[in-house]
């Protein structure tokens, strides 16, 4: 079993996780310049986030057994960090909240953590900073989903990585360059495409952007922290015959597999149906299996394929088509 799961990807993630544990200070007896253990620091942060919690709720949030949480809370109460009040609807239970001293302690923990993160991000360029934020968010949610799913006897559970990613329609400053960049980076890394491909994407987007005022054309972008991390467009003019052309569907590395792509495509296809297009067509090429699975789940079917070089390299080009719902 170990040999089957110890892939380079798994090993890389495990190695990075060990480094993070060390660099964030979790190997020490205390954390975040406090006299408290990592679990106690996280307990204070959870109580701060929720305002008031019971010991049972805190045990669930932290994923710890109730006896361990009880001992930890007794120490925090004795040190003046927490105060207890009877629950309004259950006199046997106690609500925990931060004392004035606890609020000062938590403020110090936040300041310490923010300094750590800012210092680390200063070592990275803006693109990598976004990738770190998106990747950590998705990975943390996946770990949580696995834990909750296992606890429920289900093995694993799906989770959404779209929490802080917003979908916007219409032109946004920088969209041409950013969408061209995402295409160029992904397809150069995985398919060896070069300057010809990037320039074709950029010039096509620039021409299309000049037609966004037409009601049959639209572009959607996924935005995280004011940075574009995904896109899709519907060109209602270039094919004619009342057909919509789905173009420039791309996601940044950090948000693949988290539901963002489905959100983008769902909005684009709803637009096509509302506008009454007879069909929606898209062109891609053989080998993009994850994208193909998504297209087919949304009603697209492969209608044609042949070898071609329109992308600058020889690939098996594919045309997918989706008929308008209700047609």
Give the model's pLDDT for residue 9. Answer: 80
Rounded distance between C-alpha atoms, residue 40 and residue 309, angstroms: 60
**Once rounded to an integer, what is the mean pLDDT over residues 59-68?**
85
Per the prediction, the chain carries an average pLDDT of 85
The answer to which of 80-89, 153-162, 212-221, 255-264 has the lowest mean pLDDT is: 153-162
What pLDDT does residue 214 have? 94
Q: What is the pLDDT of residue 211?
A: 95
Structural contact between residues 222 and 166, judged by C-beta atoms closer than 8 angstroms: yes
Q: What is the pLDDT of residue 164?
A: 76
pTM of the model: 0.57
pLDDT of amino acid 275: 92
**Which residues are within 8 A (CB) of 306 and not within 5 positions of it... i.e. 6 or more apart?**
316, 317
pLDDT at 92: 66
**pLDDT (tens digit, 9 = 90+) per residue, 123-175?**
988 778 877 877 787 787 777 767 666 655 433 333 334 457 889 999 999 99
Q: What would the pLDDT profile of 81-120 be if each residue is shown by its tens digit?
A: 999 888 766 666 788 899 999 999 999 999 999 999 999 9
pLDDT at 139: 80
Top pLDDT among 307 and 41 is at 41
- What is d(CA 148, CA 89) in angstroms, rounded to the nearest whole number? 28
In the predicted structure, residue 56 carries a pLDDT above the cut 90 = no
Q: How far apart are CA 139 and CA 132, in angstroms?
A: 10
Q: How confident is the model at residue 241 (pLDDT cuts 50, 70, 90)?
A: very high
Instruction: Give the closest residue to 33 by CA, choosing from 124, 99, 106, 96.
Output: 106
pLDDT in tens, 289-305: 888 999 999 999 999 98
Query: Could you give the angle at the alpha carbon of 44 between the alpha carbons of 102 and 132, nearest 5°?
Result: 125
pLDDT attached to residue 88: 66
Q: Does the pLDDT value for residue 271 go beyond 90?
A: yes
């Amino acid at each position: 079993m170990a040999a089957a799961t110890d892939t380079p990807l798994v090993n890389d993630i495990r190695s990075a996780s060990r480094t993070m544990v060390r660099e964030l200070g979790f190997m020490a007896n205390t954390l975040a310049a406090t006299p408290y253990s990592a679990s106690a620091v996280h307990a204070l942060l959870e109580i701060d986030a929720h305002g008031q919690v019971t010991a049972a709720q805190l045990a669930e949030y932290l994923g710890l057994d109730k006896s361990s949480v009880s001992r930890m809370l007794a120490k925090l109460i004795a040190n003046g960090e927490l105060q207890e009040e009877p629950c309004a609807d259950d006199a046997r239970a106690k609500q925990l909240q931060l004392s004035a001293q606890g609020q000062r302690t938590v403020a110090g923990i936040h300041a310490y953590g923010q300094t750590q993160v800012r210092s680390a991000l200063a070592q990275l360029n803006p693109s990598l900073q976004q990738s770190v934020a998106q990747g950590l968010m998705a990975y943390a949610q996946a770990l949580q989903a696995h834990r909750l799913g296992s606890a429920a006897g289900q093995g694993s559970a799906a989770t959404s990585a779209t929490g802080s990613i917003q979908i916007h329609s219409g032109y946004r400053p920088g969209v041409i360059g950013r969408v061209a960049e995402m295409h160029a980076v992904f397809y150069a890394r995985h398919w060896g495409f070069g300057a010809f491909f990037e320039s074709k994407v950029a010039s096509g987007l620039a021409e299309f952007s000049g037609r966004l005022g037409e009601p049959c054309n639209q572009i959607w972008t996924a935005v995280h922290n004011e940075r574009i991390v995904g896109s899709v467009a519907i060109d209602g003019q270039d094919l004619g015959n009342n057909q919509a052309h789905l173009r420039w569907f791309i996601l940044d590395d950090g948000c693949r597999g988290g539901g963002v792509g489905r959100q983008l495509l769902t909005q684009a296809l709803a637009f096509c149906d509302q506008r009454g297009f007879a069909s929606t067509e898209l062109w891609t090429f053989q080998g993009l299996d994850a994208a193909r699975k998504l297209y087919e789940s949304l009603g697209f079917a492969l209608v044609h394929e042949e070898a071609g070089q329109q992308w600058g390299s020889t690939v098996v080009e594919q045309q997918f088509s989706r008929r308008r719902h209700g047609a």
